[in-house]
Amino acid sequence: MQTTQRSLFERIFKLNAHKTTPKTELVAGITTFFTMVYVVFVNPSILGDAGMDKQVVFATTCLVAGFGTIAMGLFSNLPIALAPAMGLNAFFAYAVVGKLGYSWEVGMGAIFWGSVGLFLISVFKVRYWVMSSIPVSLRVGIAAGIGFFVALIGFKNMDLIVPNPATLVTLGDLHQPSVLLGLLGFFIIVILAARNIYSGVLVSIVVVTSIAFFVDPNVSYHGFISLPPDLTPIVGKVDVWGALDTALFGIIFSFLLVTLFDSSGTLLGVTDKAGLSDEKGRFPHMREALFIDSFSGVVGAYLGTSAVGTYVESGAGVSVGGRTGLTAVVVGVLFLLTIFFSPLASLVPPYATAGALVYVGILMASSLIRVQWVDLTEATPAFITAAMMPFTCSITEGIAFGFISYVIMKLGTGRVREIHPSVWFVSALFVLKFAWVG
């Protein structure tokens, strides 16, 4: 029986060619899942502020993340997980609905059309053209910037850094259990990784959660199984046609750009770190991955979960050896099971996965070694891209400033011929975005 299963996995996921095993892929999938399961609790909280039913959003988030990630694993054979994008849901809830006053139905309709736009440029290979021609300095900057951004989230989740009105951020209270346990989890991971024990991330999450259960009153057991709610208060209520208002075109364009570069940047960064991409940033089944990613975004927006995108936390699974779509399938199945086991999943506190995020940051930032630091026309955009992601708390803004600075540096030094047409095109789009909607 075990031999039959191994043979089936080999035929579908080509495990031997990727020098991996079912056990490694299982551990990687579980690891990725626990580093991003927070989305099923954070997304309903944010969308709930826009007037949406939180319990329904919880269920639809699990469904979209589950089926989207399984599709990514089966059709692209990549260890990439999908889920509703955190940046977009906050923009939707607090800017489009909260500040501009649109209903959640219309606001979600705007996300839907932005996702349709991304789907179309994926189908007509414009997105592939853009991604495959990004210069090395920008690709490296994107990967490193995502690493810094992910590490920032990890430090925040363990309360090691906290807001400060005078200095923007400052050191948190080192006596807090979340800080101490978060740091414990981080060092468990890096020490085990240094000793070539690649299940360290999962071990860290289990150890920290177990300790937290006894020392943190916010970590408590609330049961084992819960049934999903009725989905009709959300599903089918998105106002697709009401969103086709000229006043919302700028918002739709912003949604398109954010989704394009958040997901594309993550795909480039994670596949590069997994050793799956070539020197031009291309990776196996790239077209299939872009198609699934963009189509899942359309479905997610229509179901009312906000647009779906690839998750940087996929790097956690890659860091423990995940190399194929079997990792993604494991993640997807766990998301679907979470619909029924949400009380158990909520047992894991944010700081239990924070160490994994910082570890991913270390791995992804290491790509900066490939930058030609002696050439400022290459070093400047790489640094700007990497630095602006954590400083603006936005992957998209970091990419935008990186592209624009690349063009400026090449123009200013008379090296215009080195600028690929796609870089001109993308830079112009970002300039229009900043001029039009900020």
pLDDT above 80 for 60: yes
- Between 316 and 402, name the one with better pLDDT: 402
pLDDT above 60 for 1: no
pLDDT at 317: 85
pLDDT at 384: 95
pLDDT at 74: 93
pLDDT at 4: 58
Instruction: Work out the average pLDDT over 159-173.
Output: 90
- Three-class SS state of 171: strand
Q: For the segment 89-106, what is each residue's pLDDT rounded down to a tens digit? A: 777 887 788 877 889 999
pLDDT above 80 for 6: no
Could you give the CA distance from residue 32 to residue 427 in angstroms, rounded to a whole number? 33
> In 95-197, which residue ranges form alpha helices assigned H by DSSP?
104-123, 126-132, 136-157, 177-194
Confidence of residue 281 (pLDDT cuts 50, 70, 90): low
Could you give the CA distance from residue 121 to residue 123 in angstroms, rounded to a whole number? 6
In a 10 Å sphere around its CB, with 0-12 CB exposed, 13-18 middle and 19+ buried, how is residue 55 labelled? middle
Instruction: Work out the average pLDDT over 305-324.
Output: 83
pLDDT above 90 for 183: yes
pLDDT at 437: 62
pLDDT above 60 for 2: no
Q: For the segment 344-395, what is each residue's pLDDT rounded down to a tens digit? A: 666 778 888 888 888 878 878 887 888 999 999 999 999 999 999 888 877 7
Q: Which residues pair with 309 in a beta bridge?
A: 83
pLDDT above 60 for 320: yes
pLDDT at 264: 75
pLDDT at 346: 67
Please give the structure tokens belonging to residue 104.
């959640």
pLDDT at 143: 77
Half-sphere exposure of 130 (CA within 13 A, CB side): 23
How far is residue 253 CA from its own chain's centroid? Answer: 20
Could you give the CA distance from residue 80 to residue 305 in angstroms, rounded to a whole number? 19
pLDDT at 87: 63
- Between 422 and 334, name the one with better pLDDT: 334
Phi first, then psi: give them for residue 229, nearest 5 degrees.
Answer: -85, 175
Please give the structure tokens belonging to residue 417.
């011929």
* Percent of the chain with pLDDT strictly greater than 70: 94
Instruction: Work out the average pLDDT over 248-266.
Output: 74
- Between 232 and 379, name the one with better pLDDT: 379
Q: Which residues pair with 84 in a beta bridge?
A: 308
DSSP, res 371:
S
pLDDT above 90 for 191: yes
In a 10 Å sphere around its CB, with 0-12 CB exposed, 13-18 middle and 19+ buried, how is residue 195 labelled? exposed
Look at 55-64, 129-138, 261-270, 409-418 and tell me which has the smallest mean pLDDT.
Answer: 261-270
Instruction: Work out the average pLDDT over 224-236.
Output: 82
Look at 17-26, 129-138, 199-208, 364-373 and tell me which has the smallest mean pLDDT.
Answer: 129-138
Look at 56-65, 84-93, 103-112, 138-147 and tell me which has the smallest mean pLDDT.
Answer: 84-93
Contact 258, 91 (CB under 8 A): yes
Query: Pairing state of beta strands 82-84 and 168-171?
Result: unpaired
Instruction: Work out the average pLDDT over 304-321.
Output: 83
Average pLDDT, rounded, for the chain = 84
- Between 197 and 417, name the one with better pLDDT: 417
